[in-house]
């Protein structure tokens, strides 16, 4: 049986970049943060995201987290 170990976590803020006047489509900008602590909770990431948003020129639309894991053989099974 294999086991999974979380090795990396990233957070991305999705920011409002306005609406295209011709098409009416929403435009987005993103701001990424690498090397997020893998043990950080969703509440902690959201708190950080809302704390840094006022430093941006755009308003926050979404907070995304991407985790990467290493999958390996579970020794001793």
Is residue 6 situated within a structural domain?
A: yes
Q: What is the pLDDT along the chain (77 residues), one digit of tens a residue?
A: 899 999 999 999 999 999 999 999 999 999 999 999 999 999 999 999 999 999 989 999 999 999 999 999 987 65
Q: Which domain holds residue 19?
A: 2-72
Collapse the DSSP code of 47 into the 3-class scheme (helix H, G, I; strand E, B; otherwise coil) and give the result. Answer: helix
What is the residue-wise DSSP string for 19-32?
E-TTT--EEEEEEE
Does the model's pTM come out above 0.85?
Answer: no
Q: Does any domain span residue 54?
A: yes
Q: Report yes or no on 62 lying in a domain.
A: yes
CB-based contacts of 68, cutoff 8 Å, min separation 6: 6, 7, 8, 9, 10
Residue 77 domain-assigned (yes or no): no
Number of domains the chain contains: 1
Domain membership of residue 45 (yes or no) is yes
Q: Tell me if 53 is assigned to some domain.
A: yes
């Amino acid at each position: 049986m294999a086991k999974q170990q979380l090795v990396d976590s990233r957070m991305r803020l999705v920011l409002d970049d306005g609406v295209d006047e011709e098409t009416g489509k929403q435009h987005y900008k993103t701001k990424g943060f690498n090397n997020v602590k893998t043990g950080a909770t969703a509440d902690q990431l959201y708190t950080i995201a809302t704390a840094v948003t006022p430093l941006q020129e755009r308003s926050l639309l979404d907070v995304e987290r991407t985790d990467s894991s290493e999958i390996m053989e579970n020794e001793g099974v």
